[in-house]
Amino acid sequence: MHGPNTFNLQSMNTATELPRAEGGAAPRRFTIEPITRLEGHGRIEIFLDDEGDVEHAYLQIPELRGFEVFSRGRPAEDMPQITSRICGVCPTAHHMAATKALDELYRVEPTPTARKIRELVYNAFMLEDHALHVYVLGGPDFIVGPQAPAAERNLAGVIGKVGVEVGRKVIAMRRRVRELITYFGGKVIHPVLGLPGGVAKGLAPADLPKFAALAHDALDFALFTNQVFHDLVLKNPEYVKLITSDAYTHRTYYMGLVDAQNRVNFYDGKIRVVDPAGREYASFPAARYREFIAEHTEPWSYMKFCHLRPLGWNGLADGPDTSVYAVAPLARLNVTDGMATPLAQQAYVEYFNTLGGKPVHHTLANHWARVVEMIHAAERMVALTADPGLTGTDIRTLPTQKPTVGVGVVEAPRGTLFHDYETDEAGLITQANLIVATQNNAARIAMSVEKAAKRLIHRNEVSEGLLNMVEMAFRAYDPCFGCATHALPGHLALRVRIHDSAGGLLRELVQE
Amino acid sequence: MTEPRESVLVLALGNDLLGDDAVGLHVARAVAMRLAGTDGCAVRESIEMGLTLLDEISGCEHLLLVDSIETGAAPGFVHEFDADCLKGRRIAAPHFVGIAETLELGRLLGLPMPCDVEVFAIEVREAYTIRLALTPEVQRAVAEAADRISARAISLLQPGVLETGPLAGTGTSPERRLAVG
């Protein structure tokens, strides 16, 4: 029976049913597929049991193959350009992580001016990317509201709520930030900013006022965004109830980059991990990441689920025994003792006071944490453009040592990003590995998608709003489909077997 | 950026490191050769996505987008469809904004958006492996796609089309709006 608010899975326009298996067994896997690069490549897979209830569900992100093969034999100095071209979404994060890996590879410390320029560019990028998410991507969920009619939960709805002028502000801010990035690095997608030990171009004193003005405008904009969030989200008790609801809560570990005082730092620092109770579990330099991160595969998923290696794989489950960790804004605030800038610190205190103290386990709080981080990024831009050292002319320490191995890490907008290279003595790549933010988050994203699906699918019946709720569950993480690549050597054959609840093989897939 | 730039913009999307994903970029280069010296028409490539395209497409009257696509058709098949076909399929695009939404946003903000957008999408075989070459069947489609896009661009530049507006022209007649896959 279909109630007025339910419809049958098989009738969903956007769902594709797999062909029936041998013997006519009912298919148990449903896939919601995209069609083209214009729209992205992600995919949600939902597996049902015999009763028609959800057994597993996850967000499928296609794996880019061949990264290591492509990289091998190329000069390490090319990696910041190559990796920034892998993904059209966050090229600056890849460029910076690769540049930092080169610093390590050649064991060379960037000059103080070079470091400031990198930080300025990086914070500008973080601000812009976060603004895009707050207004454009997360906006339909929060600014318009989760309960709004589907027809309004789109960009037009966001503009309707905040006004055309704010929309223009977002676009203008984005354009000015991109001008800053291109000033230092040429094209955003093909930046030539980062070199081992420094940067390719300094800041001419005559050009400083323009960027100082941008920094101040960015801070005004971030504070305005904070106000919008308060007015439209936090003053609505229903939203706060939704943020803190069990449906969007997972008690996991958290990982993020912190400075020497354990405060948020997007550009540099050590990796800190806290447990589900908020206690420090680990603190380590990026070079030791392999000791702490491992990947697990499940027979029903192409995805590799990152978890904490010393704890082993304890399943897609949360609580004290979990080994799943999260990255991204929610995690970054959870692992820190505070923000490094005063206004962001105020916002940080309010955030934890409102949400019941640290750690915050509510996935949807990512949206709020993102706003706190926008303030931090803008304040860092203001501080850096006020620093006389920014216009220094000593922008590079020339490498003198032979390259060996180098791991670079930054906090990308979507979370911790690792680049790991090894070279021969001539500096040609012999091994290259990336762990991108969405990989780090894959296990927790799967848990969120599954939780939403389980609440809304019962006995083949899907409650209206499933897609919204599942989307909301993963959109808070701002997952990126552009580069969730794993750099295994060349093509890795991966066999996937899909079973029904009785263990019968419904379908076998082999990915070469 | 609000100054009209050209009547017809051929904009190719793709990633030049991702095998067949780059087919649009190859097509754009072939189109640029065919249309060299043609007034009122520009050919550009972008490996970016989402809102970045807002700047790219502002100011042109007719937009011809070239992209890769996976629908299950034979690799190298050239699909043609109107950008309106993409509406309502945003489920899988949490991070970036699809072209239909980009157009909608541009219009809401009063930016000069193209009055019509046609998509030429080449079916690909392998777009998830990092490499520079296209697969042979996709490579073979480049010339055909370039011919069709060039012809379409030239027809849009005919005086009758521009004077009567795109909706009155033959370019957006229903039979041109081929289904996607």
Structure confidence at residue B47 (pLDDT): 78
Question: Considering chain A, what is the average pLDDT of its residues?
Answer: 83
Q: What is the mean pLDDT of residues A480-490?
A: 38
Query: Of A335, A89, A376, whose CA–CA distance to A225 is shortest?
Result: A376
| Domains observed in chain B | 8-169 (3.40.50.1450)
Q: What is the mean pLDDT of residues B52-72?
A: 86
Which tokens belong to A185? 């690095």
pLDDT by residue (tens digit) across A420-476? 999 999 999 999 998 988 889 999 999 998 888 888 777 766 665 666 677 777 778
Measured between CA atoms, the residue of chain A closest to residue B90 is: A39
Structure confidence at residue A364 (pLDDT): 93
Contact list in B for residue A467 (CB cut-off 8 A) is: 91
- Which range is most confident: A5-19, A182-196, A209-223, A293-307? A209-223
Residue B12 has pLDDT above 80, yes or no: yes
Cis check for the bond before A27: say yes or no (omega within 30 of 0): no
Residue A207 has pLDDT above 70, yes or no: yes
Integer CA distances (angstroms), A245 to A357, A360, A363, in order: 15, 12, 10
In this complex, is the C-beta atom of A485 within 8 Å of any C-beta atom belonging to chain B? yes
Residue among B13, B16, B101 whose CB faces A155 most closely: B101
A53 vs A99, residue with greater confidence:
A99
Q: What is the mean pLDDT of residues A101-113?
A: 98
Distance from CA of B132 to the nearest CA of A (A): 9
Integer CA distances (angstroms), B121 to A38, B14, B73, in order: 10, 11, 11
Query: Of A82, A481, A373, A470, whose CA–CA distance to B96 is shortest?
Result: A481
Structure confidence at residue B37 (pLDDT): 92
What is the Cα–Cα distance from A460 to A446, expressed in whole angstroms?
20
B-contacting residues of A 12-41, CB under 8 Å?
14, 32-41
In this complex, is the C-beta atom of A471 within 8 Å of any C-beta atom belonging to chain B? yes
Which residues make Cβ contacts (< 8 Å) with residue A150, sequence separation at least 6? A468
Integer CA distances (angstroms), A476 to A138, B102, B163, in order: 7, 21, 47
Contact A216, A380 (CB under 8 A): no
- Least confident segment among A77-81, A113-117, A273-277: A77-81
- Which range is most confident: A2-16, A477-491, B149-163? B149-163
Structure confidence at residue A221 (pLDDT): 96
Structure confidence at residue B16 (pLDDT): 85
What is the Cα–Cα distance from A121 to A103, expressed in whole angstroms?
17
Give the number of C-alpha atoms closer than 13 A to the C-alpha of residue A42, restricted to the C-beta side: 26
Structure confidence at residue B160 (pLDDT): 61
CATH code for residues A67-398+431-439? 1.10.645.10
The burial of A315, by beta-carbon neighbours within 10 Å (0-12 exposed, 13-18 middle, 19 or more buried), is given as: middle
Q: What is the mean pLDDT of residues B78-88?
A: 72
In this complex, is the C-beta atom of A392 within 8 Å of any C-beta atom belonging to chain B? no
Measured between CA atoms, the residue of chain B closest to residue A492 is: B129
Instruction: Provide the 8-state DSSP code for B94.
Output: S
A345 vs B67, residue with greater confidence:
A345
Q: In what order do the strands lie in the sheet with A457-458?
A: A6-8, A461-463, A457-458
What is the Cα–Cα distance from A324 to A316, expressed in whole angstroms?
7
- Ordered by start, the domain boundaries in chain A are 6-62+448-511, 67-398+431-439
SS (H, E, C) A428-465: EEEEEEEECHHHHHHHHHHHHHHHHHHHHEECCEEECC
CB–CB of A189 and B47 under 8 A? yes
Residue A109 has pLDDT above 90, yes or no: yes
Radius of gyration of chain B (CA): 15
Contact B49, A89 (CB under 8 A): yes
What is the Cα–Cα distance from A437 to A484, expressed in whole angstroms?
8
What is the Cα–Cα distance from A18 to B19, expressed in whole angstroms?
27
Residue A503 has pLDDT above 80, yes or no: no
Residue A34 has pLDDT above 90, yes or no: no
Helices A437-456, A466-475: inter-axial angle, 10-degree rounding: 150
Structure confidence at residue A484 (pLDDT): 37
CB–CB of A89 and B101 under 8 A? no
What is the Cα–Cα distance from A5 to A230, expressed in whole angstroms?
32
Residue among B17, B127, B180 whose CB faces A85 most closely: B17
Instruction: Provide the 8-state DSSP code for A233.
Output: I
Measured between CA atoms, the residue of chain B closest to residue A15 is: B91
Measured between CA atoms, the residue of chain A closest to residue B98 is: A39
Contact list in A for residue B105 (CB cut-off 8 A) is: 136, 155, 159, 167
Query: Of B22, B80, B102, B25, whose CA–CA distance to A167 is shortest?
Result: B102
What is the Cα–Cα distance from A82 to A91, expressed in whole angstroms?
10
Token pair 């969007």 in the structure block, residue: A248
pLDDT by residue (tens digit) across A146-205? 777 767 777 788 888 899 999 899 889 989 998 999 999 887 666 789 999 999 999 999
Residue among A35, A44, A155 whose CB faces B89 most closely: A35
What three-state secondary structure class fits A29? strand
Please give the share of chain A, as a percent, with pLDDT higher than 90. Answer: 57
CB–CB of B109 and A164 under 8 A? yes
A186 vs A288, residue with greater confidence:
A288
Please give the share of chain A, as a percent, with pLDDT higher than 70. Answer: 81
pLDDT by residue (tens digit) across A75-98? 999 999 998 887 767 889 999 999
Q: Is A72 left (phi over 0), alpha (psi -120 to 50) or beta?
A: beta
Q: What is the mean pLDDT of residues A18-44?
A: 41
Q: What is the mean pLDDT of residues A272-292?
A: 97
Give the number of C-alpha atoms closer than 13 A to the C-alpha of residue A282, restricted to the C-beta side: 20
The helix (run of H) or strand (run of E) holding residue A347 is: helix A342-355
A505 vs A201, residue with greater confidence:
A201
Token pair 């076909």 in the structure block, residue: B85
SS (H, E, C) A177-199: HHHHHHHHHCCCCCCCCEECCEE
What is the Cα–Cα distance from A429 to B99, expressed in whole angstroms?
37
Residue B49 has pLDDT above 60, yes or no: yes
Contact A437, A415 (CB under 8 A): yes
Contact list in A for residue B66 (CB cut-off 8 A) is: none
Which tokens belong to B130? 């990092």
- Least confident segment among A100-109, A408-417, A457-466, B102-111: A457-466
How many pairs of residues across A and B have Cβ atoms under 8 Å apart? 151
List the end-to-end C-alpha distance of chain B, in Å, as a whole number. Answer: 36
Residue B34 has pLDDT above 50, yes or no: yes
* Interface probe with B: pick from A12, A13, A39, A491, most Cβ of B within 10 Å: A39
Residue among A89, A133, A167 whose CB faces B49 most closely: A89
List the end-to-end C-alpha distance of chain A, in Å, as a whole number. Answer: 42
- Which range is most confident: A130-134, A261-265, A435-439, A476-480? A261-265
